[in-house]
Structure 1
C-alpha cells in the first residue's frame, strides 16, 4: 500500500531549516526514511533554499517581503511547485534514504537507534485494555516521544489536544473517521481535532507518537490514570 498521508509543507520546511527540536525531528526523519515522495519534496526545498541564498539581495524587496510573511511563504510555495515540475524524479537528489534493511524491519532509522533495536526487542509497558507503549528518551524538553501498540480492532480512547500531536504508522493501520492510515502514513493533529482512531482488524497497530502537551481524554476513567501513564 502506498503512503497517502504526508508531512505538511510547513512542518517539512521547519525540518529543512533546522527549526524543529529533537522529538519532532525523530518523527519527520522516520517518515522520510519510509516516504520517497517526501524525500523528494525535502530535496526540492533544500535546492530552492540554496538558490535563494545564492541570488543577489535586493534590500528594498527584502524589506517589503519581511513585512508580509504570508506573501513570502506563498512565493516560496510557488517556486517549490515550479522546481518540482521542472525536475524529473530521477534527477532529484535524495536525502535520508531508507535503510537497506527497511524491507525486513519495522522500525527504520533513525528511530531504531533510539529504541535500541527493532520491535521484537521492545520492552512494552502496559497502558490498559490491551494497549502498550514505550517512552523514548530524548534531550528534548518540549515534546514526549513514544511507541504505541494498539490491539487489532480496538479504539484509542476519544481525545482532543492541548497542543500538537504527530503520529506515524509503522505497522498495521488505523481508521480515523473516513481516513485510513497505514505504514508510513503521517497524521498531524492540533487543538482543533477531537477524534478516536481505531486499529484495523487482523494486526496490532504500532505507531510513533510525539506530543507537546497532555491529551484531553473524554473518559473520566482515562483522565484519572493519565498522570500515572504520562500521556
Structure 2
C-alpha cells in the first residue's frame, strides 16, 4: 500500500500523549494500522514523552491519590464501548478490508456495513461512541460523485478505506488521511471506478458553501 498523506505532527503528539478525543483516536489508530511511517513517528513521540517524564522532578501525593485514581479509571472503563466477540483477532482479521482498531465498531467487512442513503450517490453509517463530544461516521460516495464545497468548524480527519478521491490538496487513496483544520475549504470528487469509502471524525458540523447545500444539511447530518 502506497500512502502519500499522513497525520499532522501535532495530531501524532496528541495521540501519543493520550490527549485526543475518542472519535479521533479511532481514526488515528485505524490509520496507524495501515501506515508504518506514522507508527514509527508515534513510537518516537512516546519515547520522547517517556524521557521527559523521567527527567521531571517527583511531586508529593496526597494520601487518597491512589483511591481517586482508581475511581477515575473505573469511571472511564464504564464509558467505553464494549468490543463485540466477532472482533477478536484471528487470521481472518489480517485479510479484512477493515483496519483492526475499527473492527470492534463495524465488524470485519466493509460489505457488511449498514449504510443509509443521505443523498443520491452518497451513503452514511454513523458510529456511536461513548465519551466523545465529536462525530464519527463513514461515508460511501459513488464513482464520479462530488461532495459540495465546504469548510470545517474545527478539526476534521478523513481516512480513505477503499477507492479514492481528489481535491485541491491532492489525491487520496486507501490509507491516506486528510488531517484538516477550520482554515481548509475543499470539494472532494471520487475518481476511482468503485465507490470511495471513508472514515470521518469531526469536531463541529461541516460548513457547506452553497445555499442549497446549507438548506439540506439538517437532512444530510454531516
Taking structure 1 as the reference length, the TM-score comes to 0.77
1:207 to 178, 193, 198: 198
Alpha-carbon spacing, 1:99–1:152, altered in 2? closer, same or farther (3 Å): farther
2:126 to 128, 131, 135: 135
1:117 to 99, 108, 113: 108
Matched, 1:186 2:177: yes
Q: Is the 8 A contact 1:33 1:99 kept in 2?
A: no
What CA distance in whole angstroms lies between the structure 2 residues aligned with 1:179 and 1:3? 12
The aligned residue for residue 225 of structure 1 is: 216
What CA distance in whole angstroms lies between the structure 2 residues aligned with 1:213 and 1:56? 36
What CA distance in whole angstroms lies between the structure 2 residues aligned with 1:49 and 1:169? 29
Alpha-carbon spacing, 1:5–1:204, altered in 2? closer, same or farther (3 Å): same
Q: Which runs of 5+ in 1 are unaligned?
A: 58-97
The aligned residue for residue 169 of structure 1 is: 160
What CA distance in whole angstroms lies between the structure 1 residues aligned with 2:155 and 2:189? 20
Report 1:28-177 matches (<5 A): 28-55=28-55, 57=57, 101=92, 104-177=95-168
The structural deviation recorded for 1:228 is 2.2
Q: Is the 8 A contact 1:171 1:204 kept in 2?
A: yes
Q: Give the paired residue count.
A: 192
What CA distance in whole angstroms lies between the structure 2 residues aligned with 1:173 and 1:103? 22
> What is the Cα-based RMSD across aligned positions, in Å?
2.0
Q: Is the 8 A contact 1:160 1:195 kept in 2?
A: yes
Alpha-carbon spacing, 1:199–1:100, altered in 2? closer, same or farther (3 Å): farther
Q: Is the 8 A contact 2:140 2:197 kept in 1?
A: yes
Taking structure 2 as the reference length, the TM-score comes to 0.80
Which runs of at least 4 in structure 1 moved beyond 3 Å after TM superposition? 98-103
Alpha-carbon spacing, 1:47–1:100, altered in 2? closer, same or farther (3 Å): farther
